[in-house]
Amino acid sequence: MTKRDDEEFAKETFSRFLSGSESSSPIWTEGAEPPDYELTWKGTCYAVEVTQVMESFELGPRPLSYEGMSRSLHALTKRIEARAIAEGILNGAYGLAFEPIPNLGQREAELTGAVIRVLQTRPGIDRNSWTPVLFGTDGPLVEIMKLTDAGAALCEIIGGGGPKWGGQIVQETSSLISGALGSKAERLKTVTGNHVLLLIDAYHYAPGEIWEAVIAGAAPLRARFHTIARVHGNYECQILWSVEPTWQAAA
């Protein structure tokens, strides 16, 4: 079975961590699904599972991952851009800031029409300030801002115009990681041996200290794994928990 790019990234990152300054390399074989991989290192076998830690957004009848949501909004933005160019009203580059939109597909016509009407207004959209385009019950779902006078383009900005606040990051990180631990522990419950969980950080908001704190506070779930690691960035590996003291010390 062909592995996904993210699984291969996690595998390579953990291989680099294990090898370090040593001349030997870990041996990987495809797992029986579960696990994703079987790893042999210094005579010991490990069952390795890989999963991405990422946000999900309610854009329809089922939640979408950040990746899926990003693709959907990018495609929608390009359709609106094409119509605006065809009508000759896209004069400059604009950003569209999206909050999660329930039932996005059902509201595409409404959203497209709202953006077109705003682009048709004179004297036009303000520079350096957001103009609401589509409203939800708690405020704007979509806002637009002119970025430059040059060109003719629309680009999507996901998550709205403002940054996440600290408490939200901690809460979301805890929920996402705990969910990943629970689902992977359940998936591996019939697999014997040492279980290693590689968590790909596709959330990006939380620093390593928050990840460590979440794992430290999840003792019952944590105890079901030999090792839990965060893989991220340029093949960086952060050991969050391990019964192997040398792995913990090397992180």
Domain boundary among 100, 124, 158: 158
CB 133 within 8 A of CB 115: yes
On whether the pTM is more than 0.75, the answer is no
Judge if 67 and 153 occupy the same domain: yes
What is the predicted pLDDT for the residue at 161?
A: 43
Judge if 50 and 113 occupy the same domain: no
Judge if 86 and 72 occupy the same domain: yes
Peptide bond into 123 cis (omega under 30): yes
Judge if 147 and 170 occupy the same domain: no
What is the predicted pLDDT for the residue at 208?
A: 87
Residues 6+ apart with CB under 8 A from 9: 200, 231, 235
What is the predicted pLDDT for the residue at 170?
A: 77
- For residue 223, CA distances in Å to 122, 151, 173 come to 62, 55, 19
Domain boundary among 158, 187, 208: 158
- The partner residues of 198 in beta bridges, in order of sequence, read 50, 229
What is the predicted pLDDT for the residue at 181?
A: 97
Q: Minimal CA–CA distance to 119: which of 91, 140, 139, 147? A: 91
Judge if 197 and 77 occupy the same domain: no
Radius of gyration of the chain (CA): 23
Judge if 70 and 150 occupy the same domain: yes
Judge if 148 and 183 occupy the same domain: no
CB 10 within 8 A of CB 37: no
**Cβ neighbour number for residue 239 with a 10 Å cutoff:** 19
Judge if 74 and 103 occupy the same domain: yes
Q: Are strands 139-148 and 194-201 parallel, antiparallel or unpaired?
A: unpaired
What is the predicted pLDDT for the residue at 190?
A: 95
Judge if 105 and 22 occupy the same domain: no
What is the number of domains present in the chain? 2
What is the predicted pLDDT for the residue at 1?
A: 55
Residues of the chain where predicted confidence (pLDDT) is lower than 70: 1-3, 21, 56-70, 102, 122-128, 158-168, 251
Judge if 90 and 145 occupy the same domain: yes
Judge if 10 and 79 occupy the same domain: no
CATH number at residue 26: 3.40.1350
What is the predicted pLDDT for the residue at 186?
A: 96
Judge if 121 and 98 occupy the same domain: yes
Domain boundary among 158, 187, 213: 158
Domain that holds residue 92: 61-158
